[in-house]
């Protein structure tokens, strides 16, 4: 059973690690939300499939820049987030340039929520792992403890006549 295997602990560890990464990114975006500025950009390319990626260009202080985002929540026209549509680009320059097509505060809340669910799922998996091992038992370990040390050498029996 998966819950009683070491694989469940591995998955739980990965979920906990990913959740912590989400918390760090959430904090970084929350800090950027206090300094964010905006400019108008244009969507230059949209690649889709299961998840979309939006490439856009924008200008800051006379310099044309390009970036991409997995989320587009800032369309300024009824066209939505399609090629050629104007979008509001949020950016922060501390310490490097970071841009988004959504507010940094909204991104922070989304990442925090994802981190909470990942950590919850990881901790729940750990609890279920130990409960299933207690209830079902582990196939590779025994509950009995062997207190007799293994014999190093064979016992030799000495027979002494007339004694």
Report the mean per-residue pLDDT for the chain: 87
Model pLDDT for residues 88-99, shown as the tens digit of each residue: 999 998 788 999
* The pLDDT value given to residue 149: 63
What order of strands is seen across the sheet that includes strand 37-47? 63-69, 53-60, 37-47, 86-92, 98-100
Return the exposure string of 61-71: e unless at least 16 CB atoms fall within 10 Å of the residue's CB, then b: eeeebebebeb
22 three-state secondary structure: helix
How far is 66 from 99, CA to CA, in rounded Å? 10
Q: How far apart are the first and last CA of the chain?
A: 61
* The pLDDT value given to residue 161: 76
DSSP letter, residue 91 = E
pLDDT band, very low/low/confident/very high, at 1 (cuts 50, 70, 90): confident
How far is 80 from 46, CA to CA, in rounded Å? 12
Q: What is the pTM of this model?
A: 0.74
Q: Report the percent of the chain where pLDDT is more than 70.
A: 87
How far is 5 from 30, CA to CA, in rounded Å? 38
pLDDT at position 34 over 90: yes
Return the axis-axis angle of helices 104-136 and 6-33, rounded to nearest 10°.
160
120 three-state secondary structure: helix
Model pLDDT for residues 100-127, shown as the tens digit of each residue: 999 999 999 999 999 999 999 999 999 9
The vertex-24 CA angle with 22 and 25, nearest 5°, equals 65
- Average the pLDDT over 72-89 and give the result: 91
Report residue 81 as tokens: 């987030």
* The pLDDT value given to residue 137: 64
pLDDT at position 157 over 60: yes
How far is 11 from 60, CA to CA, in rounded Å? 43
* The pLDDT value given to residue 136: 78
* The pLDDT value given to residue 128: 92
pLDDT band, very low/low/confident/very high, at 150 (cuts 50, 70, 90): low
- Average the pLDDT over 44-70 and give the result: 91
How far is 73 from 84, CA to CA, in rounded Å? 15
- Picking from 102, 65, 98, the residue whose alpha carbon sits closest to that of residue 87 is 102
* The pLDDT value given to residue 6: 87
């Amino acid at each position: 059973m998966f819950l009683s295997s070491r694989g469940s602990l591995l998955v739980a560890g990965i979920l906990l690690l990913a959740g912590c990464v989400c918390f760090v990114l959430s904090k970084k975006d929350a800090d950027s939300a206090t300094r964010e500025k905006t400019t108008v950009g244009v969507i230059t390319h949209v690649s889709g499939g299961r998840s979309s990626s939006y490439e856009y260009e924008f200008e800051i202080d006379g310099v044309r820049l390009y970036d991409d985002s997995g989320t587009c929540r800032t369309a300024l026209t009824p066209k939505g987030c399609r090629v050629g549509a104007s979008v509001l680009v949020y950016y922060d320059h501390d310490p490097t340039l970071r841009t988004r097509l959504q507010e940094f505060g909204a991104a922070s809340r989304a990442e925090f929520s994802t981190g909470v669910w990942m950590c919850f799922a990881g901790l729940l998996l750990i609890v279920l792992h130990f409960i299933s091992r207690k209830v079902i038992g582990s196939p590779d370990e025994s509950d009995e403890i062997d207190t007799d040390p293994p014999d190093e050498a064979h016992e030799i029996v000495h027979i002494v006549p007339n004694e």
